[in-house]
């Protein structure tokens, strides 16, 4: 008998609008993972039949992921997730450098990067966190101005997880290359949503996560350009070209590879379709609900993400109200859920703490439809009106 009981939720149809936190498994990915669990259970380092079968699945997934970002398969290092990929890049490169060290990043990075940089500071590394304007985009000239002779790494995310704003990575990469400084890009929220061409971007390291791409949790990858030196975070065997030891999660990695291949086939169509849904959501909310606005709307954004403020409403209360009506949304990064302080991303773009707490992130995915968008807007309108009414009488 199981030691825990499953939660019995009310019989309300729940619709998912939190794809930036995680995504459901694509049916084809699910079948790939199950088949791999059943048939490819060998250790990919073993030389016998079962081991080599697992090795084949592992390398096939490496090719699939490499194809999605236009990279060479040997440049893909599989990890345990996006956070580990970010940590391996930031800590690995900085610790591999000698002498006085300096790292440049931005104030709106994911905690996986900002916390790694904070650790480097404890190790004596200087860190510059570049500010961004109201548009949520870093100025490449600010990157150039921050570079010094001690700079060993620049880390700038491709797409912001809360706003969806897309950074000018190719331009920043040119600046980094001219200065001879490696550029790491957190691509977790960009992969599968916008085209990613590693060669065109000119980056040196690129972090990815499977569970943002309709594949299993607990799997990630790091693109490492040939010639980039980084120290591993953990120690053991010679897996992943001595970058990441430990027996590989072959079923999860195979699922990641399948998801990458699906994303390559559907990216253009889905990006156009989902962008239209997002625009419909924004236009409807702004037209029907006063005291609202889109954060970061002036910048290029991923097609699936919008961050909207509802003045006079507590964001957490609105998330709960919408959940009770059958809609899953969030106030921002899932990794910061439950934080007392307002979003560091929203305050970094100039929002007051009050407006930051009144902001909601809607992140769309492949299952969302026009009918769901219209139903969501109706639920938001009713919820906001109710919350504002009880706030006035509180």
Catalytic residues: 335
Residue count of the chain, please give it: 394
Is there a contact between 46 and 391 (Cβ–Cβ < 8 Å)? no
- The CA distance from 68 to 22, in Å, is 20
d(CA 311, CA 285): 13
At which residue do the structure tokens 């990613």 appear?
196
- Tokens representing 201? 């971007």
How many CB atoms sit inside 10 A of residue 197's CB? 12
- Comparing CA positions, the residue from 250, 260, 263, 261 lying closest to residue 35 is 250
Tell me the pairing of strands 183-186 and 220-224.
unpaired
Among candidate residues 302, 283, 158, 304, the one with its CA nearest the CA of residue 294:
283
Structure tokens at 32: 């790939």
User: Closest by alpha carbon to 325, among 393, 375, 273?
Assistant: 375
CA angle 94, 99, 101 (to 5 degrees): 40
Residue 387 zone, left/alpha/beta (φ > 0; ψ -120 to 50; rest): alpha
Q: Which two tokens stand for residue 155?
A: 């880390």
Torsional sign, CA 307, 22, 81, 84? positive
CB 93 within 8 A of CB 135: no
The DSSP letter of residue 254 is H
CB 129 within 8 A of CB 107: yes
What are the φ/ψ torsions at residue 312 (nearest 5 degrees)? Answer: 80, 10
Cα(394)–Cα(389) distance, rounded to whole angstroms?
9
């Amino acid at each position: 008998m199981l030691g825990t009981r499953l939660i019995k939720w009310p019989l309300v149809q729940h619709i998912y609008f939190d794809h930036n936190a995680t995504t459901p498994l694509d049916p084809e990915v699910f079948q790939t993972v199950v088949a791999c669990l059943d048939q490819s259970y060998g250790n990919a380092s073993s030389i016998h039949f079962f081991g080599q079968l697992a090795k084949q699945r592992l390398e096939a997934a490496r090719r699939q992921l490499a194809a999605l970002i236009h990279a060479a398969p040997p440049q893909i290092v599989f990890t345990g997730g996006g956070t580990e990929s970010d940590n391996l890049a930031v800590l690995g490169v900085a610790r591999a450098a000698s002498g006085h060290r300096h790292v440049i990043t931005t104030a709106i990075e994911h905690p996986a990067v900002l916390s790694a940089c904070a650790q480097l500071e404890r190790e004596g590394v200087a860190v510059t966190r570049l500010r961004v304007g109201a548009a949520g985009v870093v100025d490449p000239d600010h990157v150039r101005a921050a570079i010094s002779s001690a700079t060993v790494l620049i880390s700038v995310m491709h797409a912001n997880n809360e706003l969806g704003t897309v950074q000018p990575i190719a331009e920043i990469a040119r600046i980094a290359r001219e200065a001879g400084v490696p550029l790491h890009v957190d691509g977790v929220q960009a992969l599968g949503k916008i085209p990613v061409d590693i060669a065109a971007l000119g980056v040196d390291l690129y972090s990815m996560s499977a569970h943002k791409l309709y594949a299993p949790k607990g799997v990630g990858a790091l693109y490492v350009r040939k010639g980039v030196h980084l120290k591993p975070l953990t120690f053991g065997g010679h897996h992943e070209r001595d970058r990441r030891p430990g027996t590989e999660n072959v079923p999860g990695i195979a699922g990641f590879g399948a998801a990458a291949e699906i994303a390559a086939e559907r990216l253009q169509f889905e990006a156009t379709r989902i962008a239209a849904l997002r625009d419909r959501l924004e236009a409807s909310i702004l037209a029907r609900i006063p005291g609202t606005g889109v954060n970061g709307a002036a910048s290029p954004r991923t097609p699936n993400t919008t961050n909207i403020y509802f003045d006079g409403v507590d964001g957490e209360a609105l998330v709960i109200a919408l959940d009770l009506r059958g809609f899953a949304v969030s106030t921002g990064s899932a990794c910061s859920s439950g934080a007392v302080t307002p979003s560091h991303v929203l305050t970094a773009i100039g929002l007051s703490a009050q407006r930051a707490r009144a902001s909601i992130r809607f992140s769309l995915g492949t299952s969302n439809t026009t009918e769901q968008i219209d139903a969501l807007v109706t639920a938001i309108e009713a919820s906001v009106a109710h919350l504002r009414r009880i706030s006035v009488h509180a």
